[in-house]
Amino acid sequence: MLSRKPRQSTVKIVRRLAALFCSAFLVTTVHAHDFWIEPESFRPATGQKVPVHLYVGMDFKGEPVPYIPEWFERYVQVSAQGETPVAGLPGDDPAGAVSAAAGLNVIGYRSARFSVSFDTAEEFEKYLIKEGLERNLALLKRGKSSPGKITENYYRCAKALLVNSNATTPADRVLGFRIELIAEKSPYAGPGPIPFRLLYEDRPLAGALVVAFNKAAPLDKLRARTDRDGRVMFTFPRPGIWLVTAVHMIPAPRGTGAQWESIWASLSFERPEGKP
């Protein structure tokens, strides 16, 4: 039987290619910050092996992100049976696979730090407005960022909800990510609006823009700002795969080589037929 364990030289080659990919990848995705987890099945049978895709892009049009251990700090499957790392080999696309447990399976991905630069303050301002970060725009105009080139460090905290069709499940599980979107009612449950809560460093984040959109109609976006308890409510007008996103930005800590730091949250799931 052939072993899938790569030779050391193969691993080094894959990591060099990954570094080159990352450089080109960051250049082409400066304004494409959506990052999401899209398993090949959101409704797997118990025990079913489910390949997991990672994407970065916009409006459900994205580039695949391979399994590169240096790119993430935590990449896990969490179920009633506990937490298990998502298995994969360096360079794999799909980026690993999970074996579905009964009930709710949450796949979570917390990235390492990445950086992107903007050549001018005007370019950065347009980006802030587009992402609903007007409060950071006010800080920028008060001179909290140096003129000229602006560098932003960013992190991604993505989740996907998979549910066994025959199981009664909790709505979601809190993974303790730095920023995290949490479904307070299961998107797989009965009809009606779904409440979500946005936490930043384990506290409700008020005033953040939360955006939801469907893979079949990604330009028809639902938007709402979180209340003082970090909550928003969405009524989803169609079934299918949905992505809910949010971002929080703060001035970067000293010594990080950047003026700004952003943390991006996403939550993906599949709304069943007949569940508006």
Structure tokens at 145: 């960022």
What pLDDT is stored for residue 18 in this prediction? 52
What pLDDT, on a 0 to 100 scale, did the predictor assign at position 133? 86
Query: Where would I find the H helices in the chain?
Result: 8-28, 121-130, 134-139
Pull the structure tokens for residue 168: 């009664």
pLDDT at 136: 83
Tokens of 252: 């970067």
Any idea which of 133-137, 197-201, 231-235 has the lowest mean pLDDT?
Answer: 133-137
| Sign for the pseudo-dihedral over CA of 37, 202, 259, 137 | positive
Distance, C-alpha 175 to centroid of its chain:
13
How distant, in Å, are the alpha carbons of 62, 115, 187, 238 from that of 273? 25, 40, 11, 8
Q: Above pLDDT 70, what percent of the chain? A: 83
Residues 210-234: tens digit of each pLDDT: 999 999 999 999 999 999 999 999 9
Question: What pLDDT sits at residue 276?
Answer: 62
Of 10-14, 147-151, 267-271, highest mean pLDDT: 267-271
Average pLDDT over residues 184-208: 95
What's the pLDDT tens digit per position in 161-184?
999 865 567 999 999 999 999 999
Percent of the chain with pLDDT over 90: 69
Q: Taking Cα atoms as reference points, which of 172, 175, 176, 220 lies closest to residue 196?
A: 172
pTM exceeds 0.75, yes or no:
yes
User: Is pLDDT of 264 > 60?
Assistant: yes
**Of 116-120, 135-139, 197-201, minimum mean pLDDT range:** 135-139
pLDDT of residue 168: 67
Q: Residue 237 and residue 33: Cα distance in Å, rounded? A: 25
